[in-house]
Structure 1
Amino acid sequence: MVPHRTGSTSITQSTDAAPPAAHPDPRAQEPVHRRLETNWSVSLFGTAVGAGVLFLPINAGLGGLWPLLIVTVLIGPMTYFSHRALSRFVCASPEPRADITVVARTNFGEGAGRLITVLYFLAVYPIVLIYAVGITNTVDSLLVNQLGLQSPPRWLLSGALVALLMLVMLAGQRIMLIITQWLVYPLILILLGVTLYLIPSWDFSVFHGVPSAGNLLLSLWLVIPVLVFAFNHSPAISQFSVSMKHTYGPRASERASVVLRRSTLLLVVFTMGFVWSCVLALGPMGLQSAKTQNLPVLSYLANSHGSPFIAYLGPAVALAAIASSFFGHYMGAAEGAVGIVRSMVDRDGSLISDKRLRAAVAAFIFITGWIVAIANPSILSLIESLAGPVIAVILYLMPMYAIHRIPALAPYRGKASNVFVTVAGLVAVSGIVYGLVS
């Protein structure tokens, strides 16, 4: 096929030349769907902002101000280029309904495709469990510390909360996007309000001095994986890219890049502004105490700051962030689970219908999320040991390999951004492995 030109880039479906299509895709001339793109920008922001609001200030702040300053400069390009590459990987398939699991099997073969599908599931599914724990702890803390009520039985509270989140997802993608908007727009405003409100509490004295070059590099090496996780919205990228393909056809990759730029800008401005404000207001001792209590930083602030404003807005922000992030990560986890079954058990769908399979996946995620929420493991340990390494491989390294392997992605080869993403991915993976071993 003749390449479809989209701005400065192009997506080719084959290396062999072929006559131009007699009937060009009418979607190539369609106008930009502003509302759809805005909805997805907000949804992608919501997918990532949960971890950034809940746990990023704790681990990133404990490394000191200088590493935090450096990663503040780096995280924007890291987030945009990596997610853009993953979206291009999905958009490279001409099949509008082909998600990341289908594209992986098509381009890498059944064996490698299955492996990528399993890794994709393992990168996303633990985060769904993390949010099941997070929302249970946040609501329990709100009931006890702000409302003065007794802590309800954990099995009952966690079951009700996880079931409520699941009901939104089972209502459909359109309903999920609408509810995400209701959550994220107020979340952005409240985040900004909390960030500005904490300014009088800033204390730079506890972070005095400049670390040695060795300590600075070590802290930077260990904090990058935390940033990779906190700004990760890859679980929603596959369905987002499928939506772009359905709407724009050959222009999908071009328009997806525009949306991703907007979501990245939102994340860097609002999340990193919030992180800096929390770190400077709490100091190292407060951050360590929040980590020890296994609480989101906002819940800790609500309990320790002594301000009615923070006491009630803190848990509200945490709940909105958890819910919006849960929705995006559930999409990825369900997609990966369905892909595993389809690739290993029922490839043609003759044994299990799509409806029955998705219902079974929903039941599995609900039951396991409920069990983990009752067990209440350390959230940061789950992030570091389960989610972090696989996310870095799937988000940073796999798309770079695909660009050099898949003919449809040939126009994107030889770019400086590819080197940047590859190096960032290797640093993230090595930092995670070092943290686990040490």
Structure 2
Amino acid sequence: MKDEKNKVKLSTTDFKWVLSLFGTAIGAGVLFLPINAGLDGLIPLLVILLLAYPMTYLAHRNLCRFVLSNPNANNDITMVAQDYFGKFGGFLVTVLYFFAILPILLVYSANLTTTLIEFLINQLHFDAQNIQAMRLVISFLIVFILMLVSVLGEDVITKVMSFLVFPFIAILVIIALFLIPHWNLALFYNVDFSSVTNPKFYTTLWLVIPIMVFAFNHSPIISSLACHCKKEYNELAEAKAKKIISASVIMMVVVVMFFVFSCALALSPEDFQNAKASNVNILTYISKVYPSATFLAYVAPIVALVAMSKSFLGHYLGSCEGLNGILYKASSGKIQGKLAKSITAIFTFLISWYVAYKNPSVIGIIESIGGPILAILLFLMPLFCIYKFDVFKKYRNKSFDIFILIMGLVAISAAIHGLLN
């Protein structure tokens, strides 16, 4: 028993995966999370704090178990879907999986380009006269460098991501600590628990759920983690994967919620309203409110660049799986291996560069469409399999499963509501 526990302990390689999961989930959106979560005061923040770990861990564990259910280490989510849903159903899941992740990848490529250009112009005072030529060159360099890392393989991606995560975590913690002397009680003013009888209270909570889901979402890298565990740990694959996912989610919740609560305690609900109206991230707004924090005007874009770069790499793993699966299934198995990976890399580079350069206005809408699809694949699909197929019978737990079903339906409905509005 003791030997088995020692085998399940996290190794150095496992810890790189912990950091990679963290890196995939926590992107530049964390700089807007305090604003979106803090707009309605204390109660939504407490809800996020209470639900973040169980909701994130259970959903991602279920998705990981779905991939682990096939012991073949080469069978990722696209191949396992075909096992359970047949050729057409497997192809449909693969297409949905790809189109849920690719838009997020494109958003990162466009936002990385915009953020770097704004940093060069506003902070480093570059000439902004020929901005289109600047955007063409910078978009090429950013996408080329990230794609170069991506095509070097999963091991290189996880190493680079784990390297980028450390300074990112350090900066968030340092900023949270910096804000402690500015903490006040404004967050606790006008907290009216009798408002639970007001329908608006539940509408607020309803709309907070998708913010939380997508703030901690690392589903694009879960399939790669499952395949890695199958390859490395055989019968201990599930135990290892659970441990890695749990450690990563704990790290996410501790770091992100400490940062969010520190920002919420240093500002008032009115400040969050102003920040939302100004459409700036939390660090930019804090640098305006507190003169001693002017350095944040320089730090914010750097944090955003690091955050989006590591999230791009994590999402590429999922996007690559999706497109490789589409090519394999559409060609009846003729396009696979190095050929599929080459086509995927070239396609991803060209479309990411194009979107990064053109920065079309519809990109946000496309990202919003991917949100409900991703929530369906993360929450509902694994749950359906658990009760549809006997191989998953041992995983059935009605309390956890009802919780995930409810949270999934809430997240999907709220995401669709956000898209329609």
Q: Same fold (TM over 0.5)?
A: yes
Shift, 1:316, TM fit: 2.5
Asked if 2 retains the 8 angstrom alpha-carbon contact of 1:54 and 1:298, the reply is yes
Partner of 2:319: 333
TM-score (norm 1): 0.86
Q: Distance in 2 between matches of 1:272 and 1:30?
A: 31
For 1:135-150, list aligned pairs within 5 A: 135-150=112-127
Q: Distance in 1 between matches of 2:316 and 2:13?
A: 20
- Residues 122 and 51 (structure 1 numbering): CA distance in 2 closer, same or farther, change over 3 Å? farther
- The answer as to 2:65 corresponding to 1:84 is no
TM-score (norm 2): 0.89
Q: Distance in 2 between matches of 1:378 and 1:210?
A: 39
Shift, 1:29, TM fit: 11
1:369 to 341, 344, 352: 352
- Residues 436 and 167 (structure 1 numbering): CA distance in 2 closer, same or farther, change over 3 Å? same
Asked if 1 retains the 8 angstrom alpha-carbon contact of 2:25 and 2:215, the reply is yes
Shift, 1:401, TM fit: 0.5
Q: Give SS of 1:198's match.
A: helix
Q: Distance in 2 between matches of 1:372 and 1:209?
A: 45
Asked if 1 retains the 8 angstrom alpha-carbon contact of 2:186 and 2:268, the reply is no
Asked if 2 retains the 8 angstrom alpha-carbon contact of 1:294 and 1:379, the reply is no
Partner of 2:212: 227
Q: Give SS of 1:101's match.
A: helix
For 1:32-431, list aligned pairs within 5 A: 34-151=11-128, 152=131, 153-205=134-186, 208-210=189-191, 212-213=195-196, 214-281=199-266, 283-284=268-269, 287=272, 291=276, 295-299=280-284, 301=286, 305-306=290-291, 307-343=293-329, 345-349=330-334, 352-376=335-359, 381-382=364-365, 385-431=368-414
- Residues 31 and 401 (structure 1 numbering): CA distance in 2 closer, same or farther, change over 3 Å? closer
Shift, 1:205, TM fit: 3.0
Q: Distance in 1 between matches of 2:274 and 2:372?
A: 26
More helix by share: 2
**RMSD in angstroms over aligned alpha carbons?**
2.7
Amino acid at match of 1:341: L
Q: Distance in 2 between matches of 1:172 and 1:304?
A: 44
Asked if 2 retains the 8 angstrom alpha-carbon contact of 1:298 and 1:317, the reply is no
- Residues 359 and 64 (structure 1 numbering): CA distance in 2 closer, same or farther, change over 3 Å? farther
Amino acid at match of 2:176: T
Amino acid at match of 2:396: R
- Residues 302 and 205 (structure 1 numbering): CA distance in 2 closer, same or farther, change over 3 Å? closer
**Structure 2 unaligned runs (5+)?**
none
Shift, 1:423, TM fit: 0.8
Shift, 1:236, TM fit: 0.2
Aligned pairs, how many? 411
- Residues 399 and 365 (structure 1 numbering): CA distance in 2 closer, same or farther, change over 3 Å? same
Shift, 1:426, TM fit: 0.5
Partner of 1:17: none
Shift, 1:167, TM fit: 1.2
Q: Distance in 2 between matches of 1:39 and 1:262?
A: 11
- Residues 226 and 173 (structure 1 numbering): CA distance in 2 closer, same or farther, change over 3 Å? same
- Residues 398 and 119 (structure 1 numbering): CA distance in 2 closer, same or farther, change over 3 Å? same
Shift, 1:302, TM fit: 5.2
Amino acid at match of 2:85: F
